[in-house]
Amino acid sequence: MKRSQFCKNILAPGIACSCVLGIPAAVLPVNPEHPGAGNANPGETPCNEKIEFTQKWVKRFFDILDQLTDEETRKKLMHANGAACARSAYGEFSEEKPATLAEIDAKISEWQKGLGKENIYREGNSVYFNYVGNPKGLKIADGYCLCPMIENGPATLSPTYCQCSVGYVKFMFRKLITFKPVEAELLESLRGGGKACRFKVTI
């Protein structure tokens, strides 16, 4: 599911999946005894096997990334990836005049209609923002990540993975709310062992 489509539905872009890492089909294992049901190529790996492999690959890759790079480098990489994902959904930044506090509050009020007041609100120069669920019915509260690649597993994952959404949220707020740079911090994430996906955005 594209983030942009979900955002149109609830007036709050970005409350969908995290950025997805592309894994070339060539690296996926092929089991000739189990042709892909419904796939264009009968010899193609079934989707459920691809998903299982992808989840294992992601966990292994980020464990290795954590071992070989320092935290600041990891964050920069994932923030850049998240921003690139958001840019592909919403386009480049506009040249609009930076929003006033009243304009920011008006936009937050609009988003609250789709998300609920508890999931986006301002306190001083901070906006607290929570991922909620996707339009197909999956909810973070039920243990589903909003990234399709890992929505139902692995149960826990390196916190580095979820830094992708930090980059996305930063881009999203600047593009759609503030029209000026913001800072974002991940307060809690489902795949990081938490019960929710919560962000603090400094405007």
> 3-202 has which CATH code?
3.30.1380
What pLDDT sits at residue 38?
A: 53
Determine if the peptide bond prior to 29 is cis (ω within 30°): no
* 146-152 CB contacts, 8 Å cutoff, 24+ apart: 146/15, 146/16, 146/17, 146/18, 146/197, 147/17, 147/18, 147/19, 147/20, 148/1, 148/17, 148/20, 149/17, 149/20, 149/21, 149/51, 149/54, 149/55, 149/58, 150/54, 150/55, 150/58, 150/191, 151/17
What pLDDT sits at residue 77?
A: 98
* Terminal alpha carbon distance of the chain: 29
C-alpha Rg value of the chain to the nearest Å: 18
The region that residue 29 occupies, defined by phi over 0 for left and psi between -120 and 50 for alpha, beta otherwise, is beta
Distance CA(2)–CA(18), nearest Å, equals: 10
Residue ranges per structural domain of the chain: 3-202
What pLDDT sits at residue 201?
A: 98
What pLDDT sits at residue 32?
A: 35
> What is the full per-residue pLDDT of the chain (203 aa) written as tens digits?
444 443 434 334 444 333 332 222 222 223 334 444 456 678 899 998 999 999 999 999 999 999 999 999 999 999 999 999 999 989 999 888 999 999 999 999 999 999 999 999 999 999 999 999 888 889 999 999 988 888 988 988 999 999 999 999 999 999 999 999 999 999 999 998 899 999 999 99
Name the token pair of 183. Answer: 């800072």
Cβ(165)–Cβ(157) below 8 Å: no
